[in-house]
Structure 1
Amino acid sequence: MPDANWTPLLLSLKVAGISTSVVFLAGVLIARLLSRKNFFGKSFLDSLLLLPLVLPPTVVGFGLLITFGKNGFIGKWLMEWFDVQVVFSLTGAVIASIVVSFPLMYQSAVAAFCGIDSRLENAARTMGSSEWRVFWTVSFPLAWTGLLSGLVLSFARALGEFGATLMLAGYIPGKTDTLPVAIYFAVEAGQMDKAWFWVVIIVALGLSTTMWLNWWSKRNINRYANQK
C-alpha cells in the first residue's frame, strides 16, 4: 500500500457530490418541463442535451476548454467580471463532471416523469392543487424510483470522469488530481502500486454504488408486487 495521501479520493468525492447535486436539480427541472410538452425542435433539443453521452470525453473537454478558457466567451467574462478562472481549477473539474453526467440524470428523469399516469396529476388539479403542489405531492413521489436511479448513475459517472476533466482542469496535485487523473499519471510515472491502490478504491466505490442501486430497485419492485 502506498503512502496514505487521500487527496485524490477526497477531491473526487467533493467534485462528484457538487456536480451530482447540480445535475439532479437541473435534470429534474428540465425533464419536468420537457417530458410532456411537444414543440418544434424538441427532438433536436433532446439530442443536444444527450450529446455528451455519445461524444468522446476529449471532445467534450475540448468544447469546454474553448468555452471556459481565458479567451472563451464565458471564461473571458468570468475572468473580467468576477476574477474567476475555470481552467486548471477545481471548478473546472466540477463543470466537466456536470456536463458528462447530466445526460444520465436527464434521461432517467424524462423516463420517470413520462411513466406517471397523467390522470393522477389531473385528479389533483381538479381538487384545486397548484402545479407546484401537484409536482411535490404526486409527480415527484411517483417518479422517485427513476430519479434515484439517475442520481446514483450520475454520481458514479462524475466519480469516474477523466477525459474532459483532464483537458479543462488539468493535473495539479492537491488541487485537481481526482482519482481517474491520479491513476493515469501514476501509471505514466511508473508508480504501479499507487495506480493499483486507486484502481481498487474506485472499482470498490463503483461496484458498491451499482450493487446498492440494484438491491434498492429489486426491493421496491418486490414491495410493489406484494401490494398488488
Structure 2
Amino acid sequence: MDLLLNNETMHEFLSPIWLSIKIATISGVIVILLGTWIGRIFARRTFKGKAVLETLLMLPMVLPPTVVGFFLIVIFGKNSWVGQAIEWLFKQPIIFTWYAAVIASIVVAFPLMYQSAKSGFQGVDRDIEDAARVDGANEWRIFLLISVPLASKALISGSILSFARALGEFGATLMFAGNIPGETQTIPTAIYIAIDSGQMGMAWLWVISIVIISFIMLLIVRVKQD
C-alpha cells in the first residue's frame, strides 16, 4: 500500500490504466460500428467467396498475437505504400504510437463483435422486416428501428467482449506499438515489464486492476444474456 502514497508511483500506476481505457474505448467504438455493419451484411447476403472472406475476418481470433503484430508491421511499416502514405500525410510513422495500439486492438477485437452481430441479426425474424418494407419503411429505418433493437442482446454482448479483448491485448500491441511509458504502455505490457524488472508490487496492482475491470465486463454480459 506504500506504493499508493507516492505521487510519482501513483502516476506510474495510473498512466497505463488510463491509456488502456482510452485505446479500448476508441477501438471499441470503431469495432462496434464495423462489426455491426459487416455482421448485418454477412447475416443477410450470400455471394461468391463469402466463406473465404469471412474466414479472413475471423483469422485474428486464432492467429498468435505475434503473427498479427508482424502483419501490421508489414502493412503499416516504412517499406509499405500504406506506411509511406501515412508518414507523408502526418509527418511521422504510425508504428510505436498509441494509434498503432488502437489499430492492433481493432484487429484482434473485431472478430468477437462481428460474430456476435452476425448471430444476432440471423436471429431476427425476417417476416417482421418484410412487414416493415410493405408498410413503406426504407432499409435504414428497418435497420435502426427493427433489426438493431431485436438483435440488441447479441450486440451488447459483442460490444462488451470486444472492449474487454481490446483492453487485454498484449502481443500485437507490444510488437506494433512498443512499450513507451506514458505513450504506448498499456496494462498488459506494463505488467510484463514490471515482472521482468522485479517490480512485483506494481505488477500485482495492475493485475488486480485489469481483473476487476474484466470481471465487471463479463458480469454485465452474463446479466444481459439471462
Regarding TM over 0.5, the answer is yes
Equivalent residue in structure 2 for 1:4, among 3, 10, 14: 10
Q: Are 1:21 and 2:49 an aligned pair?
A: no
Tell me, in whole angstroms, the C-alpha distance in 2 between the residues paired with 1:170 and 1:69: 14
Aligned to 1:115: 123
Tell me, in whole angstroms, the C-alpha distance in 2 between the residues paired with 1:80 and 1:137: 42
Deviation at 1:69, TM superposition (A): 1.2
Equivalent residue letter for 1:160? G
Q: What SS does the aligned partner of 2:10 have?
A: coil
The two structures, once aligned, show a CA RMSD in angstroms of 0.9
Q: Are 1:188 and 2:176 an aligned pair?
A: no
Query: After superposition, where does 1:130-145 map in structure 2 within 5 Å?
Result: 130-145=138-153
Aligned to 2:6: none
Tell me, yes or no, if the aligned pair for 2:116 and 2:158 is still in contact at 8 Å: yes
Deviation at 1:28, TM superposition (A): 0.7
Equivalent residue in structure 1 for 2:218, among 200, 210, 217: 210
Tell me, in whole angstroms, the C-alpha distance in 1 between the residues paired with 2:89 and 2:215: 43
Equivalent residue letter for 1:49? L
Q: Which moved more, 1:169-178 or 1:72-81?
A: 72-81
Equivalent residue letter for 1:140? V
Q: What SS does the aligned partner of 1:4 have?
A: helix
Aligned to 1:221: none
Tell me, in whole angstroms, the C-alpha distance in 1 between the residues paired with 2:225 and 2:43: 23
Deviation at 1:31, TM superposition (A): 1.1
Gaps of 5+ in 1: 219-228
Q: Are 1:45 and 2:50 an aligned pair?
A: no
Q: Are 1:170 and 2:178 an aligned pair?
A: yes
Deviation at 1:81, TM superposition (A): 2.8
Q: Which moved more, 1:66-75 or 1:155-164?
A: 66-75
Aligned to 1:222: none
Equivalent residue in structure 1 for 2:99, among 91, 98, 101: 91
Aligned to 1:105: 113
Aligned to 2:74: 66
Identity between Structure 1 and Structure 2 (%): 50
Equivalent residue letter for 1:163? G
Equivalent residue letter for 2:190? A
Tell me, in whole angstroms, the C-alpha distance in 2 between the residues paired with 1:142 and 1:216: 14
Tell me, in whole angstroms, the C-alpha distance in 2 between the residues paired with 1:209 and 1:72: 37
Equivalent residue letter for 1:4? M
Tell me, in whole angstroms, the C-alpha distance in 2 between the residues paired with 1:84 and 1:22: 23
Tell me, in whole angstroms, the C-alpha distance in 2 between the residues paired with 1:79 and 1:29: 29
Deviation at 1:35, TM superposition (A): 1.2
Q: What SS does the aligned partner of 1:91 have?
A: helix
- Provide Cα deviations, 1:9-28, integer angstroms capped at 9, x if missing partner: 00000000000000000011
Deviation at 1:82, TM superposition (A): 3.0
TM-score after normalising by structure 2? 0.94
Q: What SS does the aligned partner of 2:20 have?
A: helix
